Structure 1
């Protein structure tokens, strides 16, 4: 997701320990835990309320990694069996025995989880932390004393599997962080290398062979991609990249084409560039570099783009699984010299930072609106309005789908000054209405005119009760409150004096 999010939630206290007069449930929590659901890998970390600075990160064997593959295995009955590498190992075992057909294996289900909301975690115990912000909080420890000085500016690149997210912060007078630029990035994380490798294999073996290999020999395909994941963290831009050669792939190629891969590749542009011998795949240095180059080019360009807009950046910190690539490190150091730095465990930075965010959400005190936010409304139709927008109600002509701006892209908003948000007045379109719908929109443009133009999307819909005795002149006051990782909608019916609230996610 562009700027992704990690869930930071708190464990509730129980029995006599819980006192409703001593703050919210979150205030009474025994622990603060963070869950990072990634497209390819996931993990969790936590801290206890009496030792918030001691963050415990769970390590997943094998290899003692801070994350495990985002894979869930269900039994034939539909019951949960296992998660992560344990699920993959079990499914491989089932494949070997040809007993896998009634089991259910799910991969890359992150967006489905997002569509279902908090996935069972109580809303009043859940906070959503933007991943690049969480990484920035963790990186303050790496910066040491420098990060305590007012005005110190640094950038964090969270280079995950699916996406690369970049943010820039400055240390404010109160020691909290001010966002200097909206989190930005794109789909140029580590899986871009996987896609380029897949394209390379497709050019060599053909799409038909590769597709059947994935379908009929899933275990071997997994092992090949896991080997590629390991080699991505070893390749430094020089020498060959050497991968394990799946025998089933080359045998399948011979069965389908009637020729050996060794003979066929000599007739392709990859002659002497990609070799299959002694059970290994040898990829020449220039071809191996090409697997990385598109992603690295995008990362460098995105970083340079922010540095052109934000002056006096004193450090660029790289976190996330893809930042463990030696080749990426070499390219970034060549481009940005001594500005570049890495934490000891870059894959766990988001998790650790999300725990810190859960402990103190106001640490990021000021943010920059990445979009223009507003509400759809009707206004009296004027001659300059498009005829296609004209609607007639009660004999009066209106212009529909107007984007009424509440806050523009690039505006700085403060977490502590959310009460200063401006109320906007709206009118009910019909008599005797008991409810009204408030449609909230976001736009890439600073001054959109209509909610259905390119670059606009609906991010929320709230249905609120209103006084049915009000007339068409009866006003409804609407306020959009920014500053955190969520957008709060407050609706005040002037007739009934009733106030309604709704919350929308900003990513």
Structure 2
């Protein structure tokens, strides 16, 4: 599609998703003038430029809501005990990743994803097509409401995909987009790690991060990008070419050491304190409250710890305390007091308080996994390339605990975290949509031989 007036990028992350866009004429004047709409998030989240990767469908599997609205509506239905017929699917991209790993011959169009109750399934292609259609319709509505004056046929759509995904998986997303009403001629697929790299290379890094005279994106510069997101962390190495394009130096690699590792360790701690049977019953009976249980923790993951901070406070859904007392015949406060975590946790009123040391423990496995992978790349596989800069992007990269760990483990490397690192992929995808040729070289995933001598 050579003739276009606007680029709209869609990014479906493991935990959160969003869209961003810019007009072609705006790009020509200022490439970094990219609009990222905000979402009507809960008061605890404040302003959010992404919304949970959650879709809600009715009994006939027709679209009801997406993101925060989907979780809120499902919680309301659950309170009125009207939720059984609904289909709520959270973090479905992560579920798709797990499905791909199980499939012997790669991702199939017949692959299915389970809902939050794990009792109902639906074709993954339908879930993604409905989600893409929601974002497509939202963009078309925005164009009309703001009077931007762009025809739908003049929109170039960019859909991000992980660099590790196979060709069949990319074809899967293309098919989902076509079912959502996006013509193939108007669609561009962007690799998430490349999009993040494009954004960072175009970003004017503030002097608080770099010396004003230093240029880490100059000709011949090489850097490692850590795209730390929900479940998977992707590692990519790029070099800036003489024509200011980007060249991939090594095939993208990944590790299961993303933010969900932290979530899982937090969940495991609650499971030890409350009991696996109780937490599972609470999840099924009060699904909305169960989701809320982890929302505040998600915010605390990205909150810096002060030097004199003694405890971290997180809200607990009101229904949890009464339900625990009903099922266990014991006060929730006593459960925390009698657990092995009684010195690092306590329950007060409607809040759980944990020590900073315990919070750091939740990050341990993720930090070790990321550091091991980076060390293998920089000090072993790519040691002759003399890479001295590490760029961190993705929502998990905004965690001060993770940033501090990377800096302490690699003191000889410059670690750069751009502002709003969670939006680097989304904004970079818009830039890629305007100039797909900016990536000049990629490493082949494999090679095929037809003869040997």
Q: Same fold (TM over 0.5)?
A: yes
Aligned equivalent of 1:169, options 233, 238, 244: 238
- Are 2:200 and 2:418, in contact at CA under 8 Å, matched by a contact in 1? yes
Alignment partners' CA distance in 2, 1:75 and 1:211: 23
Q: Which deviations, in whole Å up to 9, do the C-alpha atoms of 1:328-375 show, x marking residues without a partner?
A: 122122223461111111111001111122222221211223x4343x
Q: 1:320 aligns with which of 384, 394, 398?
A: 394
Equivalent residue for 2:90? Answer: 107
Distance 1:89 1:263, change over 3 A: closer
CA distance in 1, matches of 2:405, 2:326: 42
Partner of 2:138: none
Q: What corresponds to 2:36 in structure 1?
A: 57
* Matching residue of 1:96: 79
> Which structure would you say has the larger RCO, counting Cα contacts within 8 Å and 6 or more residues apart?
2
Conservation of the 8 A alpha-carbon contact between 2:72 and 2:288: no
Moved more, 308-317 or 353-362: 308-317
Q: Does 1:139 align with 2:200?
A: yes
1:204 offset after TM fit, Å? 0.9
Question: Residues 106, 208 of structure 1: CA spacing in aligned structure 2 closer, same or farther, 3 A cutoff?
Answer: same
Residue 169 and residue 281 in structure 1: after superposition, are their counterparts in 2 closer, same or farther (change >3 A)?
A: same
1:243 matched to which residue of 2? 314
Distance between the aligned counterparts of 1:61 and 1:107, measured in 2? 18
**Number of aligned positions between the proteins:** 352
For 1:198, the equivalent position in structure 2 comes to: 267
Corresponding residue of 1:154: 223
Deviation at 1:288, TM superposition (A): 1.5
Q: Secondary structure at the match of 2:283?
A: helix
Superposition deviation, residue 123 in structure 1: 2.2
d(CA) in 1 for partners of 2:72, 2:335: 34
Q: CA offsets, 1:249-268, max 9 Å, x none?
A: 33333333333343344443
1:44 aligns to what SS in structure 2? strand
Q: Unpaired segments of 5 or more residues in structure 2? A: 97-123, 129-168, 206-213
1:261, 1:88 → 2: CA distance?
26
Aligned twin of 2:436: 361
Query: Cα deviations across residues 368-413 of structure 1 (Å, max 9, x unaligned)?
Result: 23x4343xxxxxxxxxxxxxxxxxxxxxxxxxxxxxx3xxxxxxxx
Alignment of 1:91-490 (within 5 A): 91-110=74-93, 111=96, 112=124, 113=128, 115=172, 117-119=174-176, 120=178, 121-142=182-203, 146-147=215-216, 149-236=218-305, 239-308=310-379, 309-310=381-382, 311-337=385-411, 339-369=414-444, 371-374=445-448, 405=449, 424=450
Q: Deviations over 1:446-501 (max 9, x none)?
A: x9xxxxxxxxxxxxxxxxxxxxxxxxxxxxxxxxxxxxxxxxxxxxxxxxxxxxxx
Contact 1:180 1:368 (C-alpha < 8 Å) held by counterparts? yes
From the superposition, tell whether residues 27 and 76 of structure 1 become closer, same or farther in structure 2 (CA, over 3 Å). same
Runs (5+) with no aligned partner, structure 1: 1-25, 375-404, 406-423, 426-446, 448-507
- Corresponding residue for 1:387? none
Q: State the TM-score, normalized to the length of structure 1.
A: 0.65
For the pair shown, the structure with the greater C-alpha radius of gyration is 1
Match of 2:66 among 65, 83, 102: 83
Q: Deviation of residue 148 (structure 1)?
A: 5.0
Once residues 235 and 221 of structure 1 are traced to their aligned partners in structure 2, the CA distance between those partners, rounded to angstroms, is 25
TM-score between the two structures when normalised by the length of structure 2: 0.72
Q: State the SS of the aligned residue for 2:273.
A: helix
Contact in 2 for aligned 1:227/1:244 (Cα 8 Å): yes
Shift of the alpha carbon at 1:77?
4.7
Q: CA deviation at 1:61?
A: 2.8
Instruction: Give how far 1:222 is off.
Output: 1.2
